[in-house]
Chains A and B, each alone.
Chain A
């Protein structure tokens, strides 16, 4: 069987088998992130202001163009999908909503072509149980990765088709959306999820999926994902597959999240007080253990900021040093040399303090 050419035959076979079991997908293969997406607008966790405005627009059937921005995993995509489902119902949503994201080809030409074709088709049969306002929705996910040219092209398109479509731009950084486009939209900022709400949500999913969690495991999961609910969910799912029925504890979560054990970082900090040789050894050990340098840097930074033994000036100097090392790492410089540099310089700064 050739890897590629078998496509057609297989697809038919699949179509048949799909028809056989009524299109039911394998439950286990669905990521929990998808499975537990909020089904309607009232399910959306936190983000009260946004939800309030959108509920109003559901009642009045009047919706402006939308621009959602905020850190990853705060429910931007989920909110707009939930809104669409509330508006059109689960059946009509397919014909009424066009979702484009960075995984799809998205030059100017494609946006123009796809949006034009989509807007041209008359709105289909409305589901009687829903409000179904007479326009469609185009969701441009990850809009900040669109080129400036493509965004400029979008300006005219948005106005031209505004009688039949509403656009919803979803992005992380509002500064990367060009001004003319941003001014055409109602802007909504999604804030990071508060810790306790995230914990409740993750707990809910863990219970629904029957994952046993020890005390502190869920809290650790939420802490490591830094307000990103999607990340927390993905980690939970991965972790549950790994433990297979056994209870999940905080240490295991740390290992899965790629977090470096605090002891290792403290060891680095301790090496600053000693001679250059111990710094060299510490760096060697880090590199052999395979810990990524960027992660080391981030965790070391957290430690330094709250360090009592260092003065403000020293902290400032170390922060500057870390910034330059981080930049070098982003440019693809060698991790070992950069870490060694960081350690030796930092130890010089730290020792100048005590002297």
Chain B
């Protein structure tokens, strides 16, 4: 049985429920028989992939949904063999550069060249180009992006690239200037509630409006997450109670506990306890920057108004350190210790 998120994913542009204007634009683009390179960006769970899939379907018809997994071997300049698997249909191919690690340049280059050299056999489809979808394009190395520059212009006749990323900040500007930028904003809380209502209707269940609103807010306007939470709540208790507690992901609740612990008392002993908890979270493969972010945002909203800028500054500082550094726990702990120090000093000064 498929998850509700997958099961009720809209397949065509007409069925998308929010950002009507954008859908309209995409439809025009897809309908014109030609497509520029696209760079689709927006926060997680806003529907980037859904929109890309819908555009593909609009262009190629239902054939674009017949997906299969194929494998291919690439050879790096140092003669190492890489085996990468792709999802592809007859018309498009999807890659995720994180599979290729530091060799993403080779994969992207070879792949695009091959796709570009094999022209579409004139079957029913009138389209002359194939599409390469690159997911998580912000993870592409600089090398790989430079390799894209000229390739995108050179092979424009028979292939198009669709890049999908959460932010354009890490995409180099020469690549950006070759793409049509498509921004997909997060849905508003009302829109999330609306979509949840539709899914509930299709599943034949009823959902009390207060609960729906609570779920939507808990998901932080991430539709993907909201639907998962709805399903989790359904499994937990049905029929729904109006005041049913919203199930947050376990790690998030746990991480918030850490923040609460740091607020509770500021002693070396408490720091040692928190260290254990941090290790626990990291051992469950939660990305360290995410942990720091959740803790920091929680702390910022809890502390005194006057203290907020300082906490934000330290959070930003240590999160940056975390990105360029090697060992996550060091920076997480340093942040907690720093926070305890400024919090206590502030408390003593105001006493």
Q: Which residue of A lies closest to B36 (CB)?
A: A238
Question: In the complex, are the beta carbons of B32 and A244 less than 8 A apart?
Answer: yes
* B167 is an interface residue with CB less than 8 A from chain A: yes
Residues 154-173 of B, flagged 1 when their CB comes within 8 A of A and 0 if not, give: 10111000000001111001
Residues of A close to B221: CB separation below 8 A:
288
* A314 is an interface residue with CB less than 8 A from chain B: no
Q: Give the one of A31, A257, A295 with max B CB within 10 A.
A: A31
Residues of A close to B173: CB separation below 8 A:
72
Residues of B close to A131: CB separation below 8 A:
none
* A26 is an interface residue with CB less than 8 A from chain B: yes
Residues of B close to A337: CB separation below 8 A:
292-293, 296-297, 312, 315-316, 319
Question: In the complex, are the beta carbons of B185 and A1 less than 8 A apart?
Answer: no
Question: In the complex, are the beta carbons of B293 and A334 less than 8 A apart?
Answer: yes
Place the interface of chain B in its size category.
35 or more
Smallest CB–CB gap between A100 and chain B, Å?
A: 10
Interface positions, chain B 213-267, Cβ under 8 Å from A, are 221
Place the interface of chain A in its size category.
35 or more
Residues 101-139 of A, flagged 1 when their CB comes within 8 A of B and 0 if not, give: 111110100000000000000000000000000000000
Residues of B close to A101: CB separation below 8 A:
150
* B75 is an interface residue with CB less than 8 A from chain A: no
Question: In the complex, are the beta carbons of A345 and B313 less than 8 A apart?
Answer: yes
Comparing B41-49, B203-211, B343-351, the segment that makes contact with chain A is B41-49
Assuming A31-B153, A142-B146, A292-B169, is B309 touching A333 (CB within 8 A)?
A: no
Question: In the complex, are the beta carbons of A107 and B77 less than 8 A apart?
Answer: yes
Residues of B close to A11: CB separation below 8 A:
117-119
Question: In the complex, are the beta carbons of A234 and B178 less than 8 A apart?
Answer: yes
* A290 is an interface residue with CB less than 8 A from chain B: yes
Residues of A close to B293: CB separation below 8 A:
334, 336-337
* B124 is an interface residue with CB less than 8 A from chain A: no
Contact of A333 among B70, B146, B156, B323 (CB under 8 A): B323
Contact of B70 among A3, A29, A258, A280 (CB under 8 A): A3
Count: A-B pairs, CB below 8 Å: 192
Assuming A102-B146, A241-B36, A280-B301, is B153 touching A33 (CB within 8 A)?
A: yes
Smallest CB–CB gap between A336 and chain B, Å?
A: 7
* A303 is an interface residue with CB less than 8 A from chain B: no
Q: 12 A-B pairs, CB-CB below 8 angstroms?
A: A6-B121, A7-B118, A11-B117, A72-B177, A230-B177, A234-B178, A280-B300, A288-B186, A292-B41, A293-B167, A341-B312, A345-B312
3 smallest CB-CB distances across A and B, nearest first, come from A341-B316, A103-B150, A290-B42
List the interface of chain A (C-beta within 8 A of B).
1-4, 6-7, 9-11, 13-14, 17, 25-26, 28-31, 33-34, 72-73, 101-105, 107, 141-142, 145, 225, 228, 230-231, 234-235, 237-238, 241-242, 244, 255-258, 275-277, 280, 287-295, 325, 328-329, 331-338, 340-341, 344-345, 347-348
List the interface of chain B (C-beta within 8 A of A).
25, 28-29, 32-36, 41-43, 46, 70, 72, 77, 88, 90, 93, 109, 114-115, 117-122, 128-129, 146-151, 153-154, 156-158, 167-170, 173-174, 176-178, 180-181, 183-186, 221, 289, 292-293, 296-297, 300-301, 305, 308-309, 312-313, 315-317, 319-320, 323-324
